[in-house]
Copies of this chain bind each other. A is one copy, B any other.
Amino acid sequence: LMQNRPLLISSLLEHAAAFHGDTEIVTRTVEGPIHRYTYAALARRSKRLANALTRLGVTSGTRIGTLAWNTHRHLELYFGVSGMGAVLHTVNPRLFAEQIEYIVNHAEDQYLFFDSSFLDLVERLAPSLPKVKGFILLADRARMPASGIPNLLCYEDLLAGESEAFDWPSFDENTASSLCYTSGTTGNPKGVLYSHRSTVLHSFAICQRDGFNLGAEDSVLVVVPLFHANGWGMPYGAAMCGAKLVFPGPAMDGKSIYELLRDEQCSFSLAVPTVWLGFFQYIDGTSGLQPATEIKLERLVIGGSAAPQAMIRRFAEQFGAYVLHAWGMTEMSPLGTSGRPLRKHAGLPLDQRIALQSKQGRVIYGVELKITDDSGAELPHDGIAFGDIKVRGPWIAAGYFRSEGGAVMDADGWFATGDVGTLDGDGYLQITDRSKDVIKSGGEWISSIDLENAAIGHPAVQEAAVIGVHHDKWQERPLLIVVRKPDATLDRDTLLEYLRPLVAKWWLPDDVVFVTELPHTATGKLQKSKLREQFKEYRLPTD
Residue positions of A touching B, CB distance < 8 A = 1-5, 7, 11-12, 14-15, 18-20, 22-23, 174, 176, 193-195, 197-198, 201, 204-205, 207-210, 213-219, 240-242, 244, 333, 340-343, 346, 362-363, 365, 368, 381, 392-399, 409, 413, 415, 425-427
Question: Do B365 and A3 touch across chains, with their CB atoms under 8 A apart?
Answer: no
Besides the contacts A22-B426, A219-B343, what 10 more A-B pairs have beta carbons closer than 8 Å?
Answer: A1-B195, A2-B197, A2-B397, A3-B393, A7-B394, A15-B363, A204-B205, A207-B208, A208-B241, A217-B342
Question: Do B2 and A394 touch across chains, with their CB atoms under 8 A apart?
Answer: yes
Contacts of A20 in B (CB 8 A): 427
Min CB–CB distance A245 → chain B (angstroms): 12
Name which residue of chain B comes closest to A343, CB basis.
B217
Question: Do A398 and B346 touch across chains, with their CB atoms under 8 A apart?
Answer: no
Min CB–CB distance A402 → chain B (angstroms): 12
- Cβ-defined partner of A5 (8 Å) among B209, B210, B333, B394: B394
Cα(A397)–Cα(B242), bound, Å: 26
User: Assuming A19-B363, A340-B215, is B209 touching A241 (CB within 8 A)?
Assistant: yes
Min CB–CB distance A411 → chain B (angstroms): 14
Question: Do B215 and A208 touch across chains, with their CB atoms under 8 A apart?
Answer: yes
Cα(A216)–Cα(B356), bound, Å: 15
User: Assuming A174-B1, A427-B20, is B365 touching A15 (CB within 8 A)?
Assistant: yes
Contacts of A398 in B (CB 8 A): 1-4
Name which residue of chain B comes closest to A367, CB basis.
B15
Contacts of A214 in B (CB 8 A): 209
- Cβ-defined partner of A240 (8 Å) among B2, B197, B365: B365
User: Assuming A201-B204, A392-B3, is B346 touching A217 (CB within 8 A)?
Assistant: yes
Contacts of A343 in B (CB 8 A): 23, 216-219, 244
Cα(A22)–Cα(B1), bound, Å: 35
Cα(A214)–Cα(B2), bound, Å: 24
User: Assuming A204-B205, A343-B219, is B2 touching A198 (CB within 8 A)?
Assistant: yes
Copies in the complex: 2
User: Assuming A15-B365, A204-B201, A207-B210, is B2 touching A395 (CB within 8 A)?
Assistant: yes
Contacts of A23 in B (CB 8 A): 343
Contacts of A207 in B (CB 8 A): 208-210, 365
> Which of A22, A197, A204, A208 is most buried by chain B, counting CB atoms within 10 A of its CB?
A208
Contacts of A346 in B (CB 8 A): 217
Contacts of A396 in B (CB 8 A): 2-3
Question: Do A208 and B204 touch across chains, with their CB atoms under 8 A apart?
Answer: yes
Min CB–CB distance A204 → chain B (angstroms): 4
Question: Do B208 and A208 touch across chains, with their CB atoms under 8 A apart?
Answer: yes
What are 16 A-to-B residue pairs whose CB atoms are below 8 Å?
A1-B198, A1-B399, A2-B174, A2-B193, A2-B394, A2-B396, A3-B409, A5-B394, A7-B394, A11-B368, A15-B363, A204-B208, A207-B208, A207-B209, A208-B240, A244-B343
Contacts of A397 in B (CB 8 A): 1-3
Cα(A399)–Cα(B174), bound, Å: 25
> Which of A20, A333, A341, A365 is most buried by chain B, counting CB atoms within 10 A of its CB?
A365
Question: Do A341 and B2 touch across chains, with their CB atoms under 8 A apart?
Answer: no
Min CB–CB distance A367 → chain B (angstroms): 9
Contacts of A194 in B (CB 8 A): 1-2
Question: Do B5 and A216 touch across chains, with their CB atoms under 8 A apart?
Answer: no
Contacts of A219 in B (CB 8 A): 343
- Cβ-defined partner of A210 (8 Å) among B7, B215, B333, B413: B215
> Which of A22, A209, A217 is most buried by chain B, counting CB atoms within 10 A of its CB?
A209
Cα(A197)–Cα(B397), bound, Å: 20
- Cβ-defined partner of A19 (8 Å) among B195, B198, B213, B362: B362
Contacts of A208 in B (CB 8 A): 204, 207-209, 215, 240-241
Question: Do A195 and B2 touch across chains, with their CB atoms under 8 A apart?
Answer: yes
- Cβ-defined partner of A362 (8 Å) among B5, B209, B216, B381: B216
Question: Do B215 and A209 touch across chains, with their CB atoms under 8 A apart?
Answer: yes
Contacts of A19 in B (CB 8 A): 362-363, 426-427
Cα(A415)–Cα(B5), bound, Å: 13
Contacts of A342 in B (CB 8 A): 216-217, 242
Cα(A278)–Cα(B193), bound, Å: 55
Name which residue of chain B comes closest to A212, CB basis.
B209
Cα(A306)–Cα(B1), bound, Å: 29
Min CB–CB distance A30 → chain B (angstroms): 27
